[in-house]
Amino acid sequence: MTKPRILFFGYSEVGYECLSLLLERGDNVVALITHEDNPHEKIWFKTPAVAAREKGVPVFTPESVNTPEWREKIAALAPDLILSVYYRHMIGTKILGLPGLGAWNMHGSLLPKYRGRAPINWAVLHGEPRIGMTLHRMVKSADAGAVVDQEGVAIGPRETAEEAFRKVLPCARRVLARQIDALLGGTVRETPQDETQATYFGGRKPEDGRIDWTKTSREIFNLIRAVTDPYPGAFTEVDGARLMVWWAEPDALAARGRNGAPGEVLSVAPLVVATSEGALELTRVEWRDGEKRELRIGQVL
């Protein structure tokens, strides 16, 4: 009996883990559609192209699959099932409608919360105590299809986005392992999402790391841990120079009443900056491009 033909769309280490699972099982993966690595992005994760090439699976990197040319190529691959795992582009409904066994996506949140891009970073930024992975049916709207399965993990209030990613990564493989036979057999069970609980967030850019000192110390700290290395980082500007803030700690002296205007430098050594309530000690900083500026007490960032 011929095994169902799986067309895999994917990127990131989540894509690598899920594709590796299928290949280890001996499933019939007919091709991988993925992305070229962005030269301006720090590639700190494994990518599924590595796993595909090791097993001789064809790898394609189109800028868009939603062109007549690529829809024709995908139709020629005759997929019985489409699986998308951290693929960064929207896949049009004409492609989603091709496989008889449906099109399915692994998303990095506990849907219906945090639909859209960079869900783990957004969850850390908002101080969520729990994150997860969700397998769901793909529909026209991003991450809005019925849920098949999901699994979550607790994250602490000091964990970075990368640490959270590492904790939740195994969830994707476990969810797929539980459900792949049902997907391939057409027997999977689905539960519609509760639209009243849905939230959506767009992609993040390096500029989104700019610190707003009028926010609370906790809000700023959450931003820092959400975008610290290997992500582009949080930053503030001093006389036209960018000061990257890779880590910070609540300032004990500020908690005892040494306050200032938001963004005011309260101390230089250690570097302490006031927020809308209290202050943060900036414990790991870096001047971008060597454009160092002198800081002084009373200066407002």
pLDDT digits (tens, 9 = 90+) for 28-68: 999 999 998 777 777 777 899 999 999 999 999 999 999 99
Is 295 inside any structural domain?
A: no
Residue 290 pLDDT greater than 80, yes or no: no
Give rounded-to-5 percent helix, strand, coil for the chain: 30, 25, 45
C-alpha to C-alpha distance for 79 and 29, rounded to whole angstroms: 9
32 contact partners, CB below 8 Å, separation of at least 6: 8, 9, 10, 19, 48, 49, 52, 57, 58, 59, 60
Write out the residue range of the structural domain in which residue 284 sits: 206-290
What are 108-163's pLDDT values in tens digits?
999 999 999 999 999 999 999 999 999 999 999 999 999 999 999 999 999 999 99
Is 108 inside any structural domain?
A: yes
Domain co-membership, 26 together with 152: yes
Domain co-membership, 162 together with 269: no
Q: What is the CATH number of the domain that holds 93?
A: 3.40.50.170
Closest CA to 204 of 113, 91, 120: 120
Return the bridge partners of 234, or none.
245
39 contact partners, CB below 8 Å, separation of at least 6: none
Half-sphere exposure of 241 (CA within 13 A, CB side): 14
Average pLDDT, stretch 75-81? 97
Domain co-membership, 145 together with 243: no
Is 297 inside any structural domain?
A: no
Domain co-membership, 235 together with 186: no
Cβ–Cβ under 8 Å, residues 133 and 166: no
Of 181, 201, 221, the last residue of a domain is 201
Is 284 inside any structural domain?
A: yes
Q: How many CB atoms lie within 10 A of CB 9?
A: 27
Cβ–Cβ under 8 Å, residues 148 and 179: yes
Residue 181 pLDDT greater than 60, yes or no: yes
Q: How many CB atoms lie within 10 A of CB 292?
A: 12
Domain co-membership, 148 together with 245: no
C-alpha to C-alpha distance for 211 and 236, rounded to whole angstroms: 6
Of 175, 201, 227, the last residue of a domain is 201
Position 252 scores a pLDDT of: 62
Domain co-membership, 254 together with 178: no
Domain co-membership, 21 together with 109: yes
Domain co-membership, 38 together with 142: yes
Is 178 inside any structural domain?
A: yes
Burial class of residue 151 in the structure, from the number of CB atoms within 10 Å of its CB (0-12 exposed, 13-18 middle, 19+ buried): middle
Residue 255 pLDDT greater than 60, yes or no: no
Cβ–Cβ under 8 Å, residues 49 and 76: no
Q: Show the CA angle centred on residue 55, arms to residues 49 and 57, nearest 5°.
A: 60
Average pLDDT, stretch 6-11? 97
Residue 256 pLDDT greater than 80, yes or no: no
Is 55 inside any structural domain?
A: yes
Q: Show the CA angle centred on residue 117, arms to residues 114 and 237, nearest 5°.
A: 105
- Compute the residue count for the chain: 301
Position 244 scores a pLDDT of: 97
Is 301 inside any structural domain?
A: no
- CA end-to-end span of the chain: 68
Is 258 inside any structural domain?
A: yes
CA 205 to chain centre: 12
pLDDT mean across residues, the chain: 94
Position 37 scores a pLDDT of: 77
Token duo for residue 143:
């991450």
Q: What is the CATH number of the domain that holds 255?
A: 3.10.25.10
Position 48 scores a pLDDT of: 93
C-alpha to C-alpha distance for 173 and 74, rounded to whole angstroms: 25
Q: How many CB atoms lie within 10 A of CB 51?
A: 25
C-alpha to C-alpha distance for 85 and 178, rounded to whole angstroms: 16
Domain co-membership, 141 together with 240: no
C-alpha to C-alpha distance for 194 and 112, rounded to whole angstroms: 7
Position 253 scores a pLDDT of: 57
| Band of residue 260 on the pLDDT scale cut at 50, 70, 90 | confident
Domain co-membership, 112 together with 251: no
| Band of residue 257 on the pLDDT scale cut at 50, 70, 90 | low
Of 201, 224, 244, the last residue of a domain is 201
Residue 251 pLDDT greater than 90, yes or no: no
Cβ–Cβ under 8 Å, residues 204 and 227: yes
Domain co-membership, 148 together with 167: yes
Domain co-membership, 12 together with 84: yes
| Band of residue 7 on the pLDDT scale cut at 50, 70, 90 | very high
Q: What's the structural domain count of the chain?
A: 2
